[in-house]
Amino acid sequence: MLGLILRTIITGLGIWLAAYLVPGVNASSTEALIWAAIALGLINAFVRPVLVLLTLPFTILTLGVFLLILNAGMLNLAGWFVDGFDVVGFWSAVFGAIIVSVVSGLCSRFIGPKGSYEVLVVRRGGE
């Protein structure tokens, strides 16, 4: 449960940063950011895997670049569902999706599978 909450907060942070940096991505309140993060998490959990499978030939043909368009569509879909969170325009959705993906990826590197913060210590032999 803690992992789910932590990942939702991270997604919300990515959406907030995208709304701050990208013209065309707007969140009117903190509540809208929270609902957008929850909506994006649910969309990525249930809708995205089906679309990734259906668009696999395009993804292979474009060497994975089509996944960026798919991520932009998922962000746009979250904007469609959540009042107070808007994504206007294709390029706004693309750049917003890039920012959300980078923030989520960077922050998730520090989170373990159970949602806890992990520190890896590497010891060299003989020390």
Could you tell me if residue 121 is inside a domain? Answer: no
Could you tell me if residue 125 is inside a domain? Answer: no
Could you tell me if residue 117 is inside a domain? Answer: no
For residue 55, the 8-state DSSP code is T
Total domains, the chain: 1
Calpha distance 84→51 (Å, rounded):
26
> 19: exposed, middle or buried (C-beta count within 10 Å: 0-12, 13-18, 19+)?
buried
For residue 28, the 8-state DSSP code is -
Could you tell me if residue 12 is inside a domain? Answer: yes
Summarised one tens digit per residue, pLDDT across range 17-72 is: 999 999 999 999 999 999 999 999 999 999 999 999 999 999 999 999 999 999 99
Could you tell me if residue 66 is inside a domain? Answer: yes
Q: What is the pLDDT of residue 113?
A: 61
Could you tell me if residue 118 is inside a domain? Answer: no
Calpha distance 127→120 (Å, rounded):
17
DSSP, collapsed to helix, strand or coil, labels residue 111 as strand
Summarised one tens digit per residue, pLDDT across range 61-112 is: 999 999 999 999 999 999 999 999 999 999 999 999 999 999 998 987 777 6
Confidence of residue 125 (pLDDT cuts 50, 70, 90): confident
Q: What domain range includes position 74?
A: 2-108
* Residues 66-100 as b or e (16 or more Cβ within 10 Å = b): bbebbbbbbbbbbbeebeebbbeeeebbbbbbbbb
Could you tell me if residue 98 is inside a domain? Answer: yes
Calpha distance 13→100 (Å, rounded):
8
Could you tell me if residue 48 is inside a domain? Answer: yes
